[in-house]
Structure 1
Amino acid sequence: MVQDSAQQEPPAAPATRARDLLPSVVPALVVGVACSLLLTGVSLAAEELQDVLWQVLPDALGVGRYSVLWMFVVLVTTGIAVGLVVWKVPGHAGPDPATTGLDAPALPPMVLPGLLLASALMLAGGPSLGPENPIIAVNVSLAVWLGARAAPRAPGRGWMVLAEAATIGALFGTPVAAALVISEALAGQRIKGRLWDSLFAPLTAAASGALTATLVSQPSFDLGLPPFGSPGWADLLAALTVAAVGALLGMCAVHALPYVHGAFQRLRHPMLMLPAGGAVLGALAALGGPLTLFKGLDEVAELAADPGGWSAGQFATMTVVKLAALLVATSCGFRGGRIFPAVFVGTALGLCAHALVPGVQPAVGVSAGVLGVLLAITRQGWVSLFVAAALVASPSVLVLLCIASLPAWLLVTGRPQMQLRADGTPVR
């Protein structure tokens, strides 16, 4: 019986020869550097415009930089500017952002300038979205278009994977995140050869993208929270509870997306949808304060620098407002991604738990909150674990997060995702 069962086992996939992998190194390096430089360039341009909008102009006009009036004016103006791009620029700045995720399709070249412009205006103007989705879409499209001319026989899917891996590596400053995303994508596919052979070229692109970003802009996710020692039973209970609450909170936004998106779609025109979205975001910013503006990464660092600087009620308000702002910005047509704002939501939730129950360590609360919210918003298990762990840079927290991810995953798996089909129904 043992011999028969052994004979029935399929043979192990043969490993790819080194000489077959080596030709992919140079293209992967080139794609990695190019994708990272494009991301960095757009981010730097957006930061310069942000300084003008939120510092130079209000100072020149004698208006408070983050007064309620100025936040409302800038967000509505940003909606008008992005609406003009979506309306008038060829390609209309790409597909509806509520229908896109990290796995972007290759878009026609004529779409890309408008998408880049809309993304830069959004990043500078303050809506609660990050750069990841549109930048990945642009890099993927450019890689496929240029790759088809440089190597016509190479499969287009290969260029797409390289560009996606390179951009994710540049976004997080490490190739580990890209490897986890691609491994998760490959898990549902039949791959030829060994897994590491399939990851070789994407990991090369991600490494070069991450290294380029590190040399140029030095991204860092470590929040510098108070050090965390050996975990105890109370820490495990806190991680389980906060992660579950984060997942449930994120699922509230997921379930609300079709309805909020449908409400904005009834306006039918980008010059109505986006300014209306800007007005709603202005009202939310007035409620939650300036920290609930923008993609949220710098604002997360400000929160973490002083975990006791706000009350539990203030943290709870920022949590709900930022999640609502993420939902509105996604629904009304601003071009952007959802990972970085979700990190802010999880961080504010974790610090709220610490303020309510001082026994909840800030590192445990923040990492568990980010884990739960990201699981609901992205449905990417490995990325959620990676980002949550990277924020606190403590190996002992990773054990708690792995355990806390299990009940949180049960709350989100098989349910609608925060992404819609073209007809407005949620992806599952």
Structure 2
Amino acid sequence: MTQDSTQSATGTAPAVSARALLPTIVPALLVGVVTSLVLLGVSAAAEELQHALWRDLPDALGVGRYSVAWMFAVLVATGVAVGLVVWKVPGHAGPDPATTGLEAPVLPLAVLPGLLLVTALVLAGGPSLGPENPIIAVNVSLAVWFGARAFPATAERGWVALAEAGTIGALFGTPVAAALVISEALAGQRVKGQLWDSLFAPLAAAGAGALTTTLVSRPSFDLHLPPFGQPGWGDLLASLVVASAGALLGLCAVYAFPYTHGAFARLRHPMLMLPAGGVVLGALAALGGHLTLFKGLDEIAELAADPDGWTAGEFAVMTVVKLAALLVAASCGFRGGRIFPSVFVGTALGLCAHALVPEVHPAVGVSAGVLGLLLAVTRQGWVSLFVAAVLVASPGMLALLCLASLPAWLLVTGRPHMQLRPDGTAVS
């Protein structure tokens, strides 16, 4: 039997030689650094604008920074501003965000300025969305444009993989998340061959993106919750129940997504859809308070700093309001991702479980709640496990989360995704 027939029989491809992999290192590192700088630049601009909108301007006007009237005014104004960009700026800030996920389409360069502008407006103005989806789309489009000119013989898919990996590494401050996402994507595409050969260049991009972010901004996802030691049977039961509850809660948003999107789509014009979304978000902010605004990372740190500082009812209200705000923001046309707001929802759910049953350790409740929410909303198993685990720096938590993911995954698998086709039907 020849070597080729042996490879065919085993279903594998030959390993790539080191000579073929070495030339990919420099482009991968360059892409990783640039993707991080794009993310950091947009985040810095959004942070400055956020300070102006939520600190300097209300102080100058003599109104409360997070008074109901001011939250309502800023969210509606954000809807108007984003609506103007989507309506008038060339490219209309990209495709309908309800139809996009972490695997971003390659967009024309003319679309990118508008998309970057609305991303900064959303991050600063308070809608409950994160930067991941639009920043990945921008970085993918830039990488493909650069790659087609600098290395015309290179396949477009390779540049897409580098940009996605670099951005995910930059978002989470570690290349591990990117490696997990890419591994899951390769499995879904039934890519055969050597896994580490396929991961070599994307992992270099992810490492460069993560290191650049770490050196510049020093991000940390550890919530510094009360220390968690060795897990017990009660912790296992709590993780199973909370993760399953999180998955079911996330599925409520998933099933409601096509209907809320359809309701806003009936308005037909971005200058109606987005301001209307701002009105609804303003009403939700009045109900849930200022902690339910923005992408949610700073806000979960505030919750975790005092796990016993709110009642179970207050945590429950924040959980429901934040999930509703995520649903509305993603449906009416605001550009942004769903991962970071989902982390807030899962955190609030886990702390609600702790408030209801004090025997539920806050670290167990938070990790399991985040795991269940992310499984339902993203359908990315490895990323969900990773994010839930890094929130609590405890080796004993990982075993609990792996077991808790089993019933949660049984609840979400085969269900629709929180992503729509262009015709408005759910991706399944």
TM-score when normalising by structure 2 = 0.98
Quote the offset at 1:191 in angstroms: 2.8
* Equivalent position of 2:44 in the other structure: 44
The separation in 2 between residues aligned to 1:393 and 1:145, in whole angstroms, is 40
Quote the offset at 1:257 in angstroms: 0.4
* Equivalent position of 1:16 in the other structure: 16
Question: Secondary structure at the residue paired with 1:341?
Answer: helix
Would the aligned equivalents of 2:182 and 2:199 in 1 still touch at CA under 8 Å?
yes
* Equivalent position of 2:419 in the other structure: 419
> Which amino acid in the other structure matches residue 185 of structure 1?
A
* Equivalent position of 1:218 in the other structure: 218
The separation in 1 between residues aligned to 2:377 and 2:418, in whole angstroms, is 6
Quote the offset at 1:18 in angstroms: 1.2
The separation in 2 between residues aligned to 1:115 and 1:414, in whole angstroms, is 32
Aligned counterparts, 1:196-215, within 5 A: 196-215=196-215
Superposed CA offset, 1:204-242 (max 9, x none): 000000000000111110000111011111000000000
The separation in 1 between residues aligned to 2:257 and 2:12, in whole angstroms, is 44
The separation in 2 between residues aligned to 1:286 and 1:86, in whole angstroms, is 27
Aligned counterparts, 1:238-277, within 5 A: 238-277=238-277
Alignment pair present for 1:141 and 2:141:
yes
* Equivalent position of 2:307 in the other structure: 307
Aligned counterparts, 1:12-411, within 5 A: 12-411=12-411
Quote the offset at 1:355 in angstroms: 0.3
Would the aligned equivalents of 2:12 and 2:192 in 1 still touch at CA under 8 Å?
no
> Which amino acid in the other structure matches residue 382 of structure 2?
W
State the identity as a percent: 81
Task: Pick closer, same or farther for the CA change 1:288–1:189 going to 2, 3 Å.
Answer: same
The separation in 1 between residues aligned to 2:9 and 2:233, in whole angstroms, is 43
Which stretch shows the higher mean deviation, 184-193 or 272-281?
A: 184-193
The separation in 2 between residues aligned to 1:34 and 1:343, in whole angstroms, is 26
The separation in 2 between residues aligned to 1:257 and 1:276, in whole angstroms, is 16
- What is the number of residues matched between the two proteins? 423
The separation in 2 between residues aligned to 1:61 and 1:188, in whole angstroms, is 54
Task: Pick closer, same or farther for the CA change 1:7–1:176 going to 2, 3 Å.
Answer: closer
Question: Secondary structure at the residue paired with 1:187?
Answer: helix
Quote the offset at 1:9 in angstroms: 5.0
Task: Pick closer, same or farther for the CA change 1:24–1:264 going to 2, 3 Å.
Answer: same
The separation in 2 between residues aligned to 1:144 and 1:231, in whole angstroms, is 46
Structure 2 portions without partners, runs of 5+? 1-5
Task: Pick closer, same or farther for the CA change 1:190–1:411 going to 2, 3 Å.
Answer: closer
The separation in 2 between residues aligned to 1:9 and 1:360, in whole angstroms, is 51
Question: Secondary structure at the residue paired with 2:10?
Answer: coil
Quote the offset at 1:11 in angstroms: 6.7
The separation in 1 between residues aligned to 2:318 and 2:103, in whole angstroms, is 30
The separation in 2 between residues aligned to 1:105 and 1:59, in whole angstroms, is 41
The separation in 2 between residues aligned to 1:245 and 1:11, in whole angstroms, is 40
Task: Pick closer, same or farther for the CA change 1:7–1:47 going to 2, 3 Å.
Answer: closer
The separation in 2 between residues aligned to 1:210 and 1:123, in whole angstroms, is 21
* Equivalent position of 1:3 in the other structure: none
Superposed CA offset, 1:355-389 (max 9, x none): 00000000000000000000000000000000000
Task: Pick closer, same or farther for the CA change 1:360–1:279 going to 2, 3 Å.
Answer: same
Quote the offset at 1:20 in angstroms: 1.1
Question: Secondary structure at the residue paired with 2:177?
Answer: helix
> Which amino acid in the other structure matches residue 59 of structure 1?
D
Question: Secondary structure at the residue paired with 1:33?
Answer: helix
Quote the offset at 1:146 in angstroms: 1.1
The separation in 1 between residues aligned to 2:357 and 2:9, in whole angstroms, is 54
Question: Secondary structure at the residue paired with 1:392?
Answer: coil
Q: Would you identify which runs of 4 or more consecutive aligned residues in structure 1 move more than 6 Å?
A: none
Structure 1 portions without partners, runs of 5+? 1-5
Superposed CA offset, 1:327-355 (max 9, x none): 00000000000000000000000000000
Quote the offset at 1:13 in angstroms: 3.6
Quote the offset at 1:393 in angstroms: 1.4
The separation in 2 between residues aligned to 1:303 and 1:267, in whole angstroms, is 36
> Which amino acid in the other structure matches residue 387 of structure 1?
V
Quote the offset at 1:7 in angstroms: 11
> Which amino acid in the other structure matches residue 232 of structure 2?
G
> Which amino acid in the other structure matches residue 235 of structure 1?
D
The separation in 2 between residues aligned to 1:346 and 1:107, in whole angstroms, is 32
CA RMSD after TM alignment? 1.2
TM-score when normalising by structure 1 = 0.98
The separation in 1 between residues aligned to 2:32 and 2:154, in whole angstroms, is 17
Quote the offset at 1:193 in angstroms: 3.0
Would the aligned equivalents of 2:7 and 2:14 in 1 still touch at CA under 8 Å?
no
The separation in 2 between residues aligned to 1:22 and 1:190, in whole angstroms, is 25
